[in-house]
Amino acid sequence: MNCDSHYKFYGPHLGVLYGKYDLLDRLRAYKVRPAPDDPPGKYETGTQNHEGIAGTLAAVNYLAQIGETYGKPYEDRFPGFSGRRLQLKTGMTVLREYDHLLSAAILDELETLPGARVHGITDRNRLEERVPTVSFTWGDRHPRNIAAALGEQGIFVWDGNYYALAVTTRLGLEGRGGMVRIGAVHYNTVEEIERLGKALRGL
């Protein structure tokens, strides 16, 4: 079985449960009484989230369009795939390759800051193991102050623990305001990352 949350691929907050019918049939569902006893209906807790389903379809269509528009160079990586499945595979590959570019750009900028420390993978040969979401601390500067100063320049980052309390606690950072988190995605540009670096160096 597999559970997924669609906001992880630019969709709305909607979950999906996928599994083999016989396994789903054997599991007991905590369901509303009017729901059927057979899957998939027995797992519905009421009226379906139609707007969320429509939003998820739009997100999948968007990813397929990226593959159709930009994914040709990657098609040979996926023998046996065609049509929409191939478009989704190549679309995600396009985004993944761009992730590496953004990750490297963020790391390059942060490495220009004396005393800044990235908490995570910085080896450029291991970019496949990370995404362009980078958390860092910078000497004795409070993460909230860094985030606020960047916000005043129209650059929006997060500070704190981002619900990863166990991580900031283990790193000894929870009592010090956590970390600053930069989160870039495919609609961000390298030029924007360079602007971020310039803004940081000016703090």
- Chain centroid to Cα 96, Å, comes to 11
Which residue range is the domain that position 183 belongs to? 96-201
Tell me, yes or no, whether 108 and 187 share the same domain: yes
Give the span between the Cα atoms of 59 and 50, in whole angstroms.
14
Tell me, yes or no, whether 79 and 102 share the same domain: no
pLDDT of residue 1: 64
Examine the fold and report which residue of 28, 61, 94 is the final residue of a domain before the chain moves on: 94
Give the span between the Cα atoms of 135 and 62, in whole angstroms.
28
pLDDT of residue 15: 80
Give the span between the Cα atoms of 187 and 13, in whole angstroms.
20
* DSSP letter (8 states) at residue 17: E
Residue 100 has pLDDT above 80, yes or no: yes
Give the span between the Cα atoms of 187 and 193, in whole angstroms.
12
Tell me, yes or no, whether 111 and 189 share the same domain: yes
Give the span between the Cα atoms of 51 and 13, in whole angstroms.
11
Tell me, yes or no, whether 60 and 119 share the same domain: no
Give the span between the Cα atoms of 166 and 42, in whole angstroms.
35
Tell me, yes or no, whether 80 and 146 share the same domain: no
Structure tokens at 54: 């429509």
How many domains are there within the chain? 2
Average model confidence (pLDDT) across the chain: 94
Examine the fold and report which residue of 62, 94, 126 is the final residue of a domain before the chain moves on: 94
Contacts of 37 (CB under 8 A, 6+ apart): none
Tell me, yes or no, whether 105 and 196 share the same domain: yes
Tell me, yes or no, whether 123 and 170 share the same domain: yes
Tell me, yes or no, whether 84 and 118 share the same domain: no
Average pLDDT over residues 55-68: 96
Tell me, yes or no, whether 146 and 159 share the same domain: yes
Which has more confidence, 15 or 159? Answer: 159
Do β-strands 116-118 and 2-5 pair in parallel, antiparallel, or remain unpaired? unpaired
Tell me, yes or no, whether 128 and 139 share the same domain: yes
Examine the fold and report which residue of 44, 64, 94 is the final residue of a domain before the chain moves on: 94
Average pLDDT over residues 157-168: 96
Average pLDDT over residues 97-120: 98
Residue 186 has pLDDT above 90, yes or no: yes
User: 117-136 pLDDT, tens per residue?
Assistant: 999 999 999 999 999 999 99
In CATH, what number is assigned to the domain containing residue 163?
Answer: 3.90.1150.10
Give the span between the Cα atoms of 157 and 182, in whole angstroms.
5
Tell me, yes or no, whether 77 and 15 share the same domain: yes
pTM of the model: 0.87
12-16, 18-22, 118-122, 150-154: least confident range = 12-16
Tell me, yes or no, whether 86 and 100 share the same domain: no
